[in-house]
Structure 1
Amino acid sequence: MTQPPGYEQGDKSRFVCKLNKAIYGLKQAPRAWFETLKAHLLSLGFVMTRSDSSLFVRHSVDEVMYLLVYVDDIILTGNNLSSIQVVIDEMNRVFSLKDLGVLSYFLGIEITYVANGFVLSQQKYIRDLLHRCGMESANGLPTPMISNCHLSLNDGSPIPNVTEYRSIVGALQYVVITRPEIAFSVNRVCQFMHSPLDTHFQAVKRILRYLSGTVDFGLHFVASSRLTLTAFVDANWGSDLDDRRSTSGFCVFFGDNPVSWGSKKQAVVSRSTAEAEYRSVACATTELLWLESLLRELRVSLDGRSTLWCDNSSAVAVSANPVFHSKFKHVELDLFFVREQVAAGRLLVNEIPSSEQLADVLTKPLSASSFSRFRERLSVVQLSSVL
C-alpha cells in the first residue's frame, strides 16, 4: 500500500498505514478493485466493450473469448478450452481465483442443461424469499394478478410495516430476470413503494402465491438457426388511474429466445392509443439498437435487419410515412428517431394481430388461459417438462 497523494511523508516512505476502517468498507474500494482487474484483463489481450463496461472480449483469427464481471464473480467462456485454462491460470497467479468449473449457479441464477439447450431459473432464490415472507406453504395461483385489478394511490389503508413491503418488492425485481411473465405485476407494485397501502400489499402477496406454485419454472433457451432480432411492442393507453399515463411493454427475441423485456409506465400522458403505442415503439427501438451494438462487439453477424411488431396500424403507418404527422408534432423526437432507423434500413416495423402480440402480457393483467398461453410463448416452462 502506498501513501495517498497529498499525504506523503518522505522520512516514513517505508512505513505501513494503520486503517481505522476496513478497506472493503470504503466507497472507493469497488472502483479501485475494478480498475485493478480491468488493467490485468487488458494486459491479457481483452477489450472492454462499449455496450457493457462489465463485459470483456478477446478475439483472434480462430479464437474468441468472453469474460463477464460482477464485482468478484466472473464468468469466462470461449471456443478454445486450452486458452480458457491459460487465462484462468494467469489470473489465478495474480488474484488467487477459485475455479468452480462448468457454469451452474451465478448470482442466484441456476443453470440447468437439457437435451436441446439450457434453462435459467431461480428456485433457491424464490424459496428463500417465500420463507422470509412466511409463505413457503402458500397455495399456488394461476396468475400473478387478477384480470380486473386496478391499483390506486388512494384506494386502501396504510400498512404498519412499510420496510417489509419495500424489501419484498425489491427482491421481486430480481426474479424478473428469469421470469418475464411477472414483469408487469412487479412494475405495478413498484409504483407504490413510497406510500404502500394494504391493497398494494395484497397484490404483492398474490405475486408470491403465484411464484409459490411455479417455483420450478424457468427460462428455456434452445439452439436457433436464425440469428435475427425481433421485438414485440404493446401499450395500454391511460391505464394508470391516478395520472392516466400509459404502460409500455416490449420483448426482444434473439432467434427463438427472449433476451430482453420490460414493462414501464410512460413518462408523459399520451393523447391517443396511437401515440401511446408509438412511444412504446421508440422505447423498443432503443433496446434493439443497443443489442445490435452489443452483438457487433461480440462479432455476431445478424441475418437481415431487426423487425419490430406492433398491433396498432396507426403507429406502424407513422413510423414509415414522413408526411403523416399532423397529430404527432408534440412527440417529434420519438417520431424522427424511429423514422431515421426505418429510412436507414436498420429497422422494419410491421403490424401484427392483437391475439398474437406477445408483449400483451407485459402491459396488462390477463385471464388464466391467456396468461398461460403467452407465458409458454415467452419460453417460460416447468423444468421437469424439458428434462
Structure 2
Amino acid sequence: MEQPQGFQDKEQPDSVCKLHKAIYGLKQAPRAWFTCLSAALLSHGFRASLVDTSLFIFLHGDIQIFILIYVDDIIITGTHSKVISSIISKLQLQFPLKDLGPLHFFLGVQATFSSNGLHLCQTKYISDLLHRTRMLGAKPSKSPCSSGAKLSKFNGEILPDPSEYRHVVGALQYCTLTRPEIAFSVNQLCQHMHSPSSTHWTAAKRVLRYLKATPSHGLFYSKGPLQLQAFCDSDWAGSPDDRRSTSGFCVFLGNCLISWSAKKQPVVSRSSTEAEYRSMAIATVELYWLRMLFKDLSIPLLHAPILWCDNVSALALASNPVYHARTKHIEVDYHFVREKVINGDILIKFISTLDQITDIFTKGLSTTRFTLLKSKLLVDSPPISLQGTVSEPPPTSSSTSSADAQDYSSSRVISNGIPQDTVISSYP
C-alpha cells in the first residue's frame, strides 16, 4: 500500500491510512485487484486476450500457456507442465498461493475425467439447492416445463414475499452453466422477477423437480474436429404479454456444445422471417466472437463456421440483395449478416424443423421431443465408470501424488484472494 496522491506525508512517508472498512467492501477493490494481478502476469510474458479480458495467453515457440481468471480463482493450462510449475512459483513470490492439483471442483462445477473425455456437472450445487428449497422429497419430473408452456404476468396471484422466488431463480440461472436444456424455462422465470405470482412459483418448482430427477446430468466433452457450427431458431411472437419473440442458438465445436442462449428479443418482430433473421444475427455475432477467440488462442479453424436455420425466407434474405427494400426496419442486422456471408466468414444452410436442435431453447416441448433434443446436446449423466468419483470439493491442498495428477499434470487451477491465500487447481 502507498499514500494516495495529494495526501503524502513527507515526515512519515512509510505510514498508510487506516481503513475502517474491509477492502473487499470498497467499490474500486475489484478493479484494483485485477490491475494488480494482470500487471504481474504481463510482467511474466503473458498478454491479455483482445476478446476476453479475463484470459491471459503465453506463447513462445511450442509452449502454450493459458490462464483464465475469475476474481481470485484461476485456471491455468498449457502444453508444458514444467513451465506451468515455473509460472506458479513466480506468482507465489508475489501472492500467497495454494496448489489444488488437478481440477475436480471449480466454482460449483464438478469436473470428472476419463480416457474418453471430460464430464462437467453441478451435482453438489443442485443437491444443496434442493435441500435449501425443501424439494428433496418432491416428485421428479421428466421435463422442466410442459409442452407449449408460456408464462404471463397476468396468471396466478402475486406472491406476498417474492424473495424466495428470486433466490431460487437466481440459483437456477447458475445451473444453466452445465444444464443448457433448462435455459428456456429459466429465461421464462427470469422475466417475472419483479412481480412473481403463484403460477410462476409453480413453474419454478417444476424445474426443481426436473433437477431432482437428473441431478448428475451435465455436459460431456471429447476430442473431435475443429469445426464450428451453430443452430438458430425463434418462437415468433411467443410472449403472450408483449408479443416479442424468443431467440435461441447453440454452437458446437465438433460434437461438443460450447455456447448457447435463450433470450427474448428486445423489439417486436413483424413477421416470422424478421424474428428468424434477428436470431441469425445474434448467432452470427457469437460465431464471429468465437472465431476471434480461437485466433487469439492460435488455434486454426480451417473451415468457415456453418449456421443452420430452418426458415427459407431468412436464408434468402441473407444471400439475396433483392429483398433489401423489404427489410429497412431491420437494416443493421441485415447488413451485418449479409457482410459476413459475402466475406465467407460464415456459411448459412437450411435444416429441417424436425432436426432443429434450437427448439429446446425457444419453446416448451413434449417429453419425447425434449428428451431427443437433450441427447443431441450431449447432456447426460456421467459414464458408469465415473459415477461417484467426485461428490465433494477437494481439500484445499495439493494432491499431485494421485493418478489424476500424473495424467493431467500439465494444467492447474489457481485461486487468489487479497487478504486470503490463493488456490491453484489443474485443467488438462
Paired residue type of 1:43:
S
The alignment's TM-score, normalised by the length of structure 2, stands at 0.89
- Residue 138 of structure 1 corresponds to 138
Q: CA deviation at 1:385?
A: 4.8
- Residue 147 of structure 1 corresponds to 147
Residue segments in structure 1 that go unaligned for 5+ positions in a row: none
- Residue 285 of structure 1 corresponds to 284
Paired residue type of 2:78:
G
Distance 2:124 2:40 in 1: 34
Distance 2:160 2:114 in 1: 46
- Residue 87 of structure 1 corresponds to 87
Q: Residues 91-131 of structure 1: CA distance to partner in whole angstroms, max 9, x if unpaired?
A: 11110110000111110011011231010100111111111
Local SS of the residue matching 1:326: helix
Q: Residues 352-387 of structure 1: CA distance to partner in whole angstroms, max 9, x if unpaired?
A: 000100101000011011100100100101124574
Distance 1:84 1:199 in 2: 52
- Residue 181 of structure 1 corresponds to 181
1:326 aligns with 2:325: yes
Distance 1:280 1:22 in 2: 45
Distance 1:158 1:27 in 2: 35
Q: CA deviation at 1:150?
A: 2.4
- Residue 14 of structure 1 corresponds to 14
Q: Percent identity?
A: 50
Local SS of the residue matching 1:252: strand
| CA RMSD in angstroms, aligned pairs only | 1.0
- Residue 161 of structure 1 corresponds to 161
Paired residue type of 2:153:
L
Q: Residues 2-38 of structure 1: CA distance to partner in whole angstroms, max 9, x if unpaired?
A: 1111222222223233221122221111111111111
- Residue 55 of structure 2 corresponds to 55
Paired residue type of 2:181:
E
- Residue 120 of structure 1 corresponds to 120
Distance 2:189 2:316 in 1: 34
- Residue 345 of structure 2 corresponds to 346
Q: CA deviation at 1:298?
A: 0.3
Paired residue type of 2:123:
Q
Distance 1:17 1:247 in 2: 52
Q: Tell me whether 61-70 or 27-36 shows the greater mean CA deviation.
A: 27-36
Paired residue type of 2:308:
W
Paired residue type of 1:82:
K
- Residue 276 of structure 1 corresponds to 275
Distance 2:277 2:14 in 1: 65
Distance 1:28 1:65 in 2: 29
Local SS of the residue matching 1:341: helix
Distance 2:267 2:183 in 1: 21
Paired residue type of 1:231:
A
Q: Is the CA contact 2:149–2:363 (under 8 Å) kept in the aligned structure 1?
A: no
Distance 2:26 2:148 in 1: 48
Residue segments in structure 2 that go unaligned for 5+ positions in a row: 387-428
1:209 aligns with 2:209: yes
Distance 1:52 1:13 in 2: 39
Q: Tell me whether 278-287 or 139-148 shows the greater mean CA deviation.
A: 139-148
Q: CA deviation at 1:327?
A: 2.4
Distance 1:162 1:282 in 2: 35
Paired residue type of 2:80:
N
Q: Is the CA contact 2:108–2:124 (under 8 Å) kept in the aligned structure 1?
A: yes
Q: Is the CA contact 2:148–2:363 (under 8 Å) kept in the aligned structure 1?
A: no
The alignment's TM-score, normalised by the length of structure 1, stands at 0.98
- Residue 402 of structure 2 corresponds to none
- Residue 297 of structure 1 corresponds to 296
- Residue 315 of structure 1 corresponds to 314
1:101 aligns with 2:101: yes
Of structures 1 and 2, the one with the larger relative CO (CA 8 A, separation 6+) is: 2
- Residue 366 of structure 1 corresponds to 365
Q: Residues 133-156 of structure 1: CA distance to partner in whole angstroms, max 9, x if unpaired?
A: 010222211100011322111111
Q: Tell me whether 13-22 or 253-262 shows the greater mean CA deviation.
A: 13-22
